[in-house]
Structure 1
């Protein structure tokens, strides 16, 4: 509803800072009530907030500076536009007459101090007109602020002189202003990975945020002398429908920002994940059977910023034609009977092309792939695409010509990343593949998935594409090598498009997505073999990462089972590439050297198994013996007598040699030989990259050992990624940990572990003073599963729960109380969730019976729910 303008003095009278502070607080609460209870119009609210501040500033100005005719108070920035949110900055310019430039009146300082006293977030500058002109010439940000200057109080003639000198007589050339603003936007977008579809987007600065609307208005104001979107529409640069899209988008973002400021109690532009649920609730979103309310809200947000990004790109290109290219001669290059290049941009030969030839809606992207010198699609043609999207219907999708065009696009050797992203941006991809359209803007509300499903999919395609580019061969050498062996790379891209297509439908998306992928393959006349490859990849796209991270890759049975699932080297190649690209596209912090090394190890082990190049390695005993011999040879070459080595190994069992690499065996044995009397012996070295360390602890086995080791590492805020524990015949323990996390000196790690091992009766888990803000938000009941490995006589315990500081040492304490021995462990952290696997036995080296499992389960759940 629209409410008439109000005065701040309706909430009381004031003649000092305390009174003004109280009145502004009451006015803010009034606007909050208008929003939440009266559903007031957001445009009115943000302008009313600015009006309230105007009135308070006027009162204080008149109190302190009413008689001063040599200065003027001017609003700039967002406040200059007359727009204020609950905790927005209030940017002011105090404009001085040159005659008092050196000695501003003392009352000015008192005035500015009172603004801080009443709680206003003031940003101010005090300058003369000539200083403003000079600074505006040197700094485009100041020039932009002055474009939005609004007179408040004081000497209006000064303000008019400033306008004449900086706005009417422009401080920046129009062409240079446009180029700088566009470059600023490019750099700003880079900070957010060039996507507005981040887990915690910035309402103002992210691509598609409010700043992208500001850029449009700034350029329009500089060149076309219009102050707002309405002015652009009147100039003919915005169609009515485009104007409505931008207006609605801005109003949506303003509503979100208004609520966010109130939720945070301060200026806040980043939508933190712990604010998103409350934002959804206060904006009226409700939960449905398939989605949380916050997921409905965020989907609307992501679709809104996509619309803003589309309009921003369209208008900036129109501005470029009218500002940069206005005086250049037309350079027309015919492409075919439907398209031509116009000054470097692709355009239709006439506005009726898409109506006469609907297949051109796909052809445009193929042309861009085949002509990489073309800079993009001309704005007029983008508008035509928007106007003809309705032609991409079931009849269009059934047309063999369109199906062939789509397959031709996906088979191109260049331009796949750019054109699929452009197809999604323009709505063509979601129209041609309705199943893809359903995941546009869809976010999973957790800390693991950093992007919307569609954005994640496009990042995955980019990663796959980079494997094929020679210039990126050094980035992932094995992936590049494997990619060149693929007979049909397009099958990998199709699987990439469909691997998460069923997210958000409920159920297992890997299973549900197979049907969509199969239907796509059938529609596009793929052979049964190719269809089988695509559906296999969609169904099992998580299998390789799960196996690598949760299972013992030195166990031949694990490799045998995974090889049986994959079935061929060709499938293994496709799956390996898809897995690497998928992990890297999920979350920037997810990929690390440890995961890389695990996947490489699984790939090589499985490849050898499938190729039968190491048949002898398929025997557990023979594989252990081979490592034994190789390590013995290396250590002998290092100068150690074979007798000393074999004596040391006398108490080791074959399992140790099976589960450790030759390099690990050599390093650990060399350390023990160099320190024969030291117990405990603690060694540290770099592992797969600079962020990952390998820790070896040799100590006498006892009940509290695992609890002591994990507690000491967590106290140092180190994450345990992997643990291998071998008990020797002399009851000593060989413990290998892979760790990462907070940077620590090797000496600090060694000292901390030594100290804890010497004081096992004082073991305590890591309990941080500050609990992460998301811990309570995502707290879920733990899921614990037990299975028994009959051949190796141990129990496998899988733990799925929310992550928290000190989690592992808490589990270790429960193990200690139940006299559980840990012989191996795999730790996987996925955002806010952990998926840990422990290989355990009871005190008698036996797998746990039903009673032991039940008792352990009860105590673990009790401990983890504290």
Structure 2
């Protein structure tokens, strides 16, 4: 399809803007058809998109500005490279001669207005050559854009003068340019938690994205005067295989980006989870027995960005040697007979070292742990590792020397996290542990798991390591205290590596993973006792979080059952640390003060049970009476008369004291004693972190009270994490809620609840006007299970379903209709799924 000035004029007749807009729309549809139907080459598509825009801009420029005008139209940035995706920004520089700088041609404004009229996303600047030079010296982003400047129309001599002044005569020193670009990349990666393996990656900016390839090109162009990867290969910086890897990676990312722009209908770089399924379909992925099409697609994506990250790190280090260290003397420091430090980087003595001594493929990481002053692995040695990965085979894994080296890496006091990450990045970890290699780049397509399985696992190991570091002991004091009691921390790391190893195989990964963990322990000569501990942790790594979040932790029977499962304080210590690290590594939004307090409560209660301390009550009545007395003593210390307190509590049953902590009892009772005549009484305070609130509502019990309270809280966009409902013998409801969600002023919460409870007839449930688009993506059939607790005289209802606004109100309405009384509730939201537990009775307080 060709575009010319004549075709635009004929198509648009007398309206140039309309003609150009229609021509661009026609061109876009043509390229879309070429992409989706004809499977056209992505390089051709991206450059053709740029060509179409070139034609239109040149036509409008020539229509508006006289040929003798000393002004140039120049493409910069990605457009300057001649690379445009369907909705990419079009960056332009209008270059003025000094003679017209004060009074630019009036036609220029008309030209720019027409660009907006025809729907182009234009980013433009208007400068003289002198201004370009000055601003390029002040701003490295402008200097980088000018590196990619491309002449479009106007005065070409002016463009050539700009090239001479800003590109040929560098605006930035090569060394400083390299350092700034590298620092920019480090800061950009930090914004994405230094990983491209997250749930909704950014195609451009995430580690391993297109920007990392551009950084390579920019540095190469600035210092080596090459404009692309082909130029780097010609200069000897890229081997043929490395060039192919980068080219294939870029082409894959371009195809994804081209499809994403068309799918969304605008510029979009972040791959939202609700777009990933359609992208997988459009790009030709199909579902298999074990995985969805989108999971196959995303695994290819994550493996691609890992390859880009590897090549980016390799090339930047080569550039450093040629730019920063080129004139510095070689500083060689022998390490052992196989390795030496070369200007701060670890390298082999000679290129055949790994072939002669394959165990050095693991030794390299141990040396880095033991020599923290070494900055990393030299690029030439990284290439040798890549070339010799095939040596890590069954024979390699069976060698006692290699097994001992791997265990030595795990046992090191420092550097475990860094070297595991490096081993994974270079492919060594997946080669040595093939079962780990199978989870590299594997993502579960839900809103709960924010990272790929391998990335999540390495984050978990990092979290465990932080418990051992004195500088982080204030983050999780109890975890640090417990960690120091572990006789062999390496067993915890092994369990961390294997806890999710069987994800994606079908079946229960906790059961399947035990086989892999047991095999590892046997191969690495761990004792039966140590093997038993590791396999226990893998098998039951979800047990503590499940118990804490779904069970009634005030019920001694729950503690007794969990203690029986754990069996010893040593296992409890390991499981507690693994659980905290696992939750924090799953999703940045998952960990909160409420989960922290639940796990601490379960840990302490189980510890006391296992140690048979007198503090731990063995039945519900004993526990209630102990809390009663402790709360009474504290209130008396606060100045309240014993008689007033006991009179207040006269109508309470022992169940209230069982289900509330001593601190909650004291806070609620103090509030009632201070305002004895206020009803309803509503108290709000911060719970145990700034994002969690505790709410107490004392009101006359009546039909629909629970439904009304939940509806009001959901309208305030507050999530109920826990609810405790007690009815006194004189018909008063004592309601305790733990909340998080939208930030709300205490006064606003109290006001809204007072208005709700003041109505004669309590309102129906909360029904939001709009449902989030994301909630339609992960619909699951609800599963409801019932069980009974005869000792506490209640029924337990477990609800598993997809999350949506107003869900709790809908459940409360069902309870209201069937005259069901809620005495306790725990709400667990795991991404798009909820696992809510309700402790319920009928209206007569029976099962």
Residue 151 of structure 1 is matched in structure 2 by: 151
| CA positional deviation for 1:401 | 0.6
| Kept in 1: contact 2:147–2:221 (CA 8 A) | yes
Residue 684 of structure 1 is matched in structure 2 by: 684
Please identify, of 10-19 and 366-375, the stretch whose mean Cα deviation from structure 2 is larger.
10-19
Q: Is residue 469 from structure 1 mapped to residue 464 from structure 2 by the alignment?
A: no
| CA positional deviation for 1:616 | 5.7
State the secondary structure of the residue aligned to 1:549.
helix
| Kept in 2: contact 1:463–1:585 (CA 8 A) | yes
Provide closer, same or farther for how the CA distance between residues 491 and 6 of structure 1 changes in structure 2, counting only shifts above 3 A. farther
Q: Please list, as runs of the form range in 1=range in 2, the aligned pairs for 1:327-342 lying within 5 A after superposition.
A: 327-342=327-342
Residue 636 of structure 1 is matched in structure 2 by: 636
Q: Is residue 207 from structure 1 mapped to residue 201 from structure 2 by the alignment?
A: no
| CA positional deviation for 1:9 | 7.3
Structure 2 CA distance for aligned equivalents of residues 511 and 145 of structure 1: 55
Structure 1 CA distance for aligned equivalents of residues 4 and 354 of structure 2: 54
Q: Is residue 801 from structure 1 mapped to residue 801 from structure 2 by the alignment?
A: yes
Residue 502 of structure 2 is matched in structure 1 by: 502
Residue 541 of structure 1 is matched in structure 2 by: 541
Cα shift readout 1:434-459 (whole Å, capped 9, x = no counterpart)? 00000000000111111000000000
State the secondary structure of the residue aligned to 1:735.
strand
| CA positional deviation for 1:627 | 1.1
Structure 1 CA distance for aligned equivalents of residues 528 and 183 of structure 2: 49
Q: Please list, as runs of the form range in 1=range in 2, the aligned pairs for 1:107-146 lying within 5 A after superposition.
A: 107-146=107-146
Structure 2 CA distance for aligned equivalents of residues 300 and 826 of structure 1: 38
Q: Is residue 420 from structure 1 mapped to residue 416 from structure 2 by the alignment?
A: no
| CA positional deviation for 1:672 | 1.3
Structure 1 CA distance for aligned equivalents of residues 627 and 161 of structure 2: 85
| Kept in 2: contact 1:397–1:403 (CA 8 A) | yes
| CA positional deviation for 1:5 | 7.8
Structure 1 CA distance for aligned equivalents of residues 741 and 79 of structure 2: 44
| CA positional deviation for 1:746 | 1.3
Residue 278 of structure 2 is matched in structure 1 by: 278
Structure 1 CA distance for aligned equivalents of residues 3 and 418 of structure 2: 50
| CA positional deviation for 1:69 | 3.0
Residue 839 of structure 1 is matched in structure 2 by: 839
| Kept in 1: contact 2:605–2:616 (CA 8 A) | no
Residue 852 of structure 1 is matched in structure 2 by: none
Residue 34 of structure 2 is matched in structure 1 by: 34
Structure 2 CA distance for aligned equivalents of residues 332 and 6 of structure 1: 60
State the secondary structure of the residue aligned to 1:738.
strand
Q: Please list, as runs of the form range in 1=range in 2, the aligned pairs for 1:5-404 lying within 5 A after superposition.
A: 13-14=11-12, 16-404=16-404
Residue 458 of structure 1 is matched in structure 2 by: 458
Cα shift readout 1:629-688 (whole Å, capped 9, x = no counterpart)? 111111112221111111111121111111111111111111111222222211111111
State the secondary structure of the residue aligned to 1:298.
helix
| Kept in 2: contact 1:49–1:85 (CA 8 A) | yes
Q: Is residue 612 from structure 1 mapped to residue 629 from structure 2 by the alignment?
A: no
Cα shift readout 1:745-777 (whole Å, capped 9, x = no counterpart)? 112111211211222625133333442220101
Provide closer, same or farther for how the CA distance between residues 616 and 49 of structure 1 changes in structure 2, counting only shifts above 3 A. closer
| CA positional deviation for 1:430 | 0.3
Provide closer, same or farther for how the CA distance between residues 616 and 438 of structure 1 changes in structure 2, counting only shifts above 3 A. closer
| Kept in 2: contact 1:708–1:760 (CA 8 A) | no
Shift >6 Å, 4+ stretches: 4-12
State the secondary structure of the residue aligned to 1:580.
helix
Structure 2 CA distance for aligned equivalents of residues 786 and 215 of structure 1: 58
Please identify, of 54-63 and 757-766, the stretch whose mean Cα deviation from structure 2 is larger.
757-766
State the secondary structure of the residue aligned to 1:289.
coil
| Kept in 2: contact 1:715–1:765 (CA 8 A) | no
| CA positional deviation for 1:700 | 2.1
Residue 621 of structure 2 is matched in structure 1 by: 621
Cα shift readout 1:396-429 (whole Å, capped 9, x = no counterpart)? 1111110000000000000001000000000000
TM-score, structure 1 as length reference: 0.96
| CA positional deviation for 1:7 | 6.4
Please identify, of 657-666 and 249-258, the stretch whose mean Cα deviation from structure 2 is larger.
657-666
Structure 2 CA distance for aligned equivalents of residues 717 and 90 of structure 1: 40
Residue 750 of structure 1 is matched in structure 2 by: 750
How much is the aligned-residue C-alpha RMSD, in angstroms? 1.2
| Kept in 2: contact 1:765–1:806 (CA 8 A) | yes
| CA positional deviation for 1:473 | 0.7
Structure 2 CA distance for aligned equivalents of residues 804 and 168 of structure 1: 59
Structure 2 CA distance for aligned equivalents of residues 769 and 168 of structure 1: 61
Structure 2 CA distance for aligned equivalents of residues 273 and 614 of structure 1: 51
Q: Please list, as runs of the form range in 1=range in 2, the aligned pairs for 1:735-774 lying within 5 A after superposition.
A: 735-759=735-759, 761-774=761-774
Residue 437 of structure 2 is matched in structure 1 by: 437
Provide closer, same or farther for how the CA distance between residues 8 and 694 of structure 1 changes in structure 2, counting only shifts above 3 A. farther
Structure 2 CA distance for aligned equivalents of residues 77 and 480 of structure 1: 49
Cα shift readout 1:790-827 (whole Å, capped 9, x = no counterpart)? 22221100011111111111110111001010010000
State the secondary structure of the residue aligned to 2:617.
helix
| Kept in 2: contact 1:354–1:361 (CA 8 A) | yes
Structure 2 CA distance for aligned equivalents of residues 770 and 107 of structure 1: 48
Cα shift readout 1:182-237 (whole Å, capped 9, x = no counterpart)? 00000000000000001000000000000000000000000000000000000000
Cα shift readout 1:723-763 (whole Å, capped 9, x = no counterpart)? 11112222222111101111111121112112112226251
Structure 2 gaps, min length 5: none
Please identify, of 648-657 and 508-517, the stretch whose mean Cα deviation from structure 2 is larger.
648-657
TM-score, structure 2 as length reference: 0.98
Structure 2 CA distance for aligned equivalents of residues 58 and 485 of structure 1: 73
| Kept in 1: contact 2:5–2:59 (CA 8 A) | no
Provide closer, same or farther for how the CA distance between residues 834 and 107 of structure 1 changes in structure 2, counting only shifts above 3 A. same
Structure 2 CA distance for aligned equivalents of residues 308 and 105 of structure 1: 46
Equivalent pairs counted in the alignment come to: 844
Provide closer, same or farther for how the CA distance between residues 823 and 817 of structure 1 changes in structure 2, counting only shifts above 3 A. same
Structure 2 CA distance for aligned equivalents of residues 812 and 760 of structure 1: 19
State the secondary structure of the residue aligned to 1:774.
helix
Q: Please list, as runs of the form range in 1=range in 2, the aligned pairs for 1:567-578 lying within 5 A after superposition.
A: 567-578=567-578
Cα shift readout 1:5-63 (whole Å, capped 9, x = no counterpart)? 87697787446000100010011000000011111000000000000011111110110
| Kept in 2: contact 1:828–1:835 (CA 8 A) | yes
| Kept in 2: contact 1:8–1:27 (CA 8 A) | no
| Kept in 2: contact 1:249–1:305 (CA 8 A) | yes
| Kept in 1: contact 2:608–2:616 (CA 8 A) | no
| Kept in 1: contact 2:705–2:762 (CA 8 A) | no
Residue 860 of structure 1 is matched in structure 2 by: none
Structure 1 CA distance for aligned equivalents of residues 257 and 693 of structure 2: 43
Structure 1 CA distance for aligned equivalents of residues 136 and 501 of structure 2: 50
Structure 1 CA distance for aligned equivalents of residues 5 and 588 of structure 2: 48
State the secondary structure of the residue aligned to 2:613.
coil
Structure 1 CA distance for aligned equivalents of residues 678 and 752 of structure 2: 16
Residue 566 of structure 1 is matched in structure 2 by: 566
Residue 603 of structure 1 is matched in structure 2 by: 603
State the secondary structure of the residue aligned to 1:151.
strand
| Kept in 1: contact 2:3–2:55 (CA 8 A) | no
Structure 2 CA distance for aligned equivalents of residues 419 and 636 of structure 1: 57
Structure 1 CA distance for aligned equivalents of residues 2 and 259 of structure 2: 21
Residue 707 of structure 2 is matched in structure 1 by: 707
| Kept in 1: contact 2:704–2:762 (CA 8 A) | no
State the secondary structure of the residue aligned to 2:773.
coil
| Kept in 2: contact 1:75–1:92 (CA 8 A) | yes
Structure 2 CA distance for aligned equivalents of residues 241 and 774 of structure 1: 41
State the secondary structure of the residue aligned to 1:766.
coil
| CA positional deviation for 1:779 | 1.6
Structure 2 CA distance for aligned equivalents of residues 616 and 168 of structure 1: 79
| Kept in 2: contact 1:8–1:23 (CA 8 A) | no
| CA positional deviation for 1:615 | 6.0
| Kept in 1: contact 2:722–2:738 (CA 8 A) | yes
State the secondary structure of the residue aligned to 2:724.
strand
